[in-house]
Amino acid sequence: MSLVARSFLPALMLLAAGLVAGCMSGGGPEPEFAEGQPFPERTLNDQHGNAVELPGNARVILKTVEAAPAGVANAVLGAMSAEERDALGIIYIADIHEMPAQPMQNVVLPRMQARDYSIVVTTREADAAFLPHQREQVTVVRLDDNGVVTGVDHAGSEEALQDLLASVVE
């Protein structure tokens, strides 16, 4: 190997590694998610393919990843009237990016479409990865009237989720 090639090879390898890392990062920093900060704005789709603006007028954003907490969220939301859900300003995000395509298309999505409330469906990890998550828990993000995050909690049961939603009203 020539002296010129030996001189440029390490620099070329470093440049290539930097380009690969830049491409994998998604093109820029993720918006900050923290209590006291505005909720990051984005547009995602619900179970019918309709665009949902986040945070919009939401006062509460729920996120589930696993099946058990999704069952908790669906039980609580299904027991509420549309007026109750609207009064609380609830947006529910079901992060199903890890679910295999066939059960998602043939079982889960049709069940979601049968519900009488909107469920934001994320099929890519990056869509909802900025939100905190605890295994087997419903993430509950509270927002003020200006879309600023005022608190983050987690609920592992219907009763715990109902209590957290009741505290939003107070």
Q: What is the pTM of this model?
A: 0.80
Q: 155, 165 in Cβ contact below 8 A?
A: no
Q: What angle do CA 167, 131, 156 make, to 5 degrees?
A: 50
Tell me what pLDDT residue 95 has.
96
Backbone angles phi, psi at 83, to 5 degrees: -65, -40
Whole-Å CA distances, 35 to 111, 152, 170: 33, 8, 19
Give the model confidence (pLDDT) of 16-64 as tens digits: 444 444 444 444 444 568 999 999 999 999 999 999 999 999 999 999 9
CA 78 to chain centre: 20
Structure tokens at 51: 């665009």
Q: Hey, what domains does the chain have and what are their CATH numbers? A: 38-169 (3.40.30.10)
Amino acid sitting at position 90: I
Backbone angles phi, psi at 111, to 5 degrees: -65, -40
